């Protein structure tokens, strides 16, 4: 008797999204309102398995309110670095309850990694990049396992590293959605007022951009809103949103690139 045909297990290693997908979505939703765009993305499954990532900072309520109106079952991921302000944790609970989200996911650093690489808890004071890597970047990477896409709260006006943000981009094979990329500070303030959204309790004290407690300071009048982050360091991003700059193409025939003996 002939041997029964065997079923082969095939592992699909293709990325969930490629740049052409992002380009098509940017074209489709050009000029479409933010809420209408989010409703369509969720209702039509255009982003696949998607979650919103929030720092629960001073501007986070706007994006979360929009997402909740579009679909409150969308998971909300929060990275608790174990160095957060107590006020941020309280604000997280306030917004999640007020907006009716049903899937809250908090991820923390791996205890064994912290014990090995930040035993004293002071790595932020001498190696902020390394601290961000083990306390924020790695935990978020784990939280994104299984996701096809994630939603970011970045805005172009926040810093030079965030200028010209598209609504849709591709990062590591995942779709990254920036619904507020083209919003201005005035747009955010108007939305807060129109919807009577709760404010982060530290904002009134001069904290305009809030991250971990040791690396966040008050912003002085006239300073960039993110000037209070990692003050004194040449650092403006935690590593989650760091832009990727391509290496320049070197012309071997250029005399300037010839070896010197």
Residue 222: the pLDDT is 77
**Alpha-carbon gap, residue 203 to 210, rounded angstroms:** 9
Residue 8: the pLDDT is 59
Q: Which of 131, 132, 212, 238 is catalytic?
A: 238
Give per-residue pLDDT as tens, 120-178.
999 988 998 999 999 999 999 999 999 999 999 998 775 554 457 899 999 999 999 99
Pick the residue with more confidence: 260 or 240? 240
Which structure tokens are listed for 149?
């896409």
Q: At what angle do helices 185-195 and 60-70 cross, to 10 degrees?
A: 60
Four-residue CA torsion sign, 181, 185, 190, 191: positive
Residue 11: band (very low, low, confident or very high) from pLDDT cuts 50, 70, 90 = low
pLDDT reading at 235 higher than 80: no
**Alpha-carbon gap, residue 225 to 208, rounded angstroms:** 6
Give per-residue pLDDT as tens, 47-94.
999 999 999 999 999 999 999 999 999 999 999 999 999 999 999 999
Phi, then psi, of 77 in degrees rounded to 5 = -100, 130
Domains of the chain: 19-199 (3.40.50.620)
Residue 250: band (very low, low, confident or very high) from pLDDT cuts 50, 70, 90 = very low
Cβ atoms of 225 and 158 closer than 8 Å? yes
Pick the residue with more confidence: 159 or 117? 117
Residue 221: band (very low, low, confident or very high) from pLDDT cuts 50, 70, 90 = confident
**Alpha-carbon gap, residue 107 to 79, rounded angstroms:** 5
Q: Report the percent of the chain where pLDDT is more than 70.
A: 80
Q: Kindly report the three-state secondary structure assignment for every residue of the chain.
A: CCCCCCCCCCCCCCCCCCHHHHHHHHHHCCCCCHHHHHHHHHHCCCCCCEEEECCCCCCHHHHHHHHHHHCCCCCEEEECCCCECHHHHHHHHHHHHHHCCCCEEEECCCHHHHHHHCCCCCHHHCCHHHHHHHHHHHHHHHHCCCCCEEECCCCHHHCHHHCCCCCEEEECCEEEECCCCCCCHHHHHHHHHHHCCCCCCCHHHCCCCCCEHHHECCCCCCCCCCCCECCCCCCCCCCCCCCCCCCCCCCCCCHHHCCCC
pTM of the model: 0.83
User: Which single residue is written with the structure tokens 């090995």?
Assistant: 116
Annotated active-site residue 238? The verdict is yes
């Amino acid at each position: 008797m002939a041997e029964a045909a065997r079923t082969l297990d095939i592992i699909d290693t293709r990325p969930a999204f490629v740049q052409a997908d992002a380009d098509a979505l940017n074209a489709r939703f050009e000029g479409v309102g933010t809420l209408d765009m989010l409703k369509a993305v969720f209702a039509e499954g255009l982003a696949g398995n998607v979650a919103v990532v929030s720092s629960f900072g001073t501007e986070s309520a706007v994006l979360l309110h929009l997402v909740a109106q579009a679909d409150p079952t969308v998971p909300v991921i929060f990275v608790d670095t174990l160095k957060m302000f107590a006020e941020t944790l309280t604000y997280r609970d306030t917004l999640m309850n007020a907006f009716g989200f049903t899937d809250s996911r908090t991820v923390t650093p791996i205890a064994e990694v912290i014990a090995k690489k930040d035993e004293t808890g002071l790595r932020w004071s001498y190696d902020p990049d390394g601290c961000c890597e083990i306390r924020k970047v790695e935990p978020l990477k784990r939280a994104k396992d299984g996701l096809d896409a994630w939603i970011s709260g970045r805005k172009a006006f926040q810093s030079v590293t965030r200028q010209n943000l598209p609504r849709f981009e591709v990062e590591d094979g995942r779709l990254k959605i920036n619904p507020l990329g083209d919003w201005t500070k005035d747009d955010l303030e108007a939305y807060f007022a129109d919807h009577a959204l709760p404010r982060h309790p530290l904002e009134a004290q001069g904290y305009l951009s809030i991250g971990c407690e040791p690396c966040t300071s008050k912003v002085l009048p006239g300073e960039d809103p993110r000037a209070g982050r990692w003050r004194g360091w040449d650092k403006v991003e935690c590593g989650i949103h760091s832009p990727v700059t391509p290496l320049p193409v070197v012309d071997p025939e250029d005399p300037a690139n010839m070896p010197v003996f």
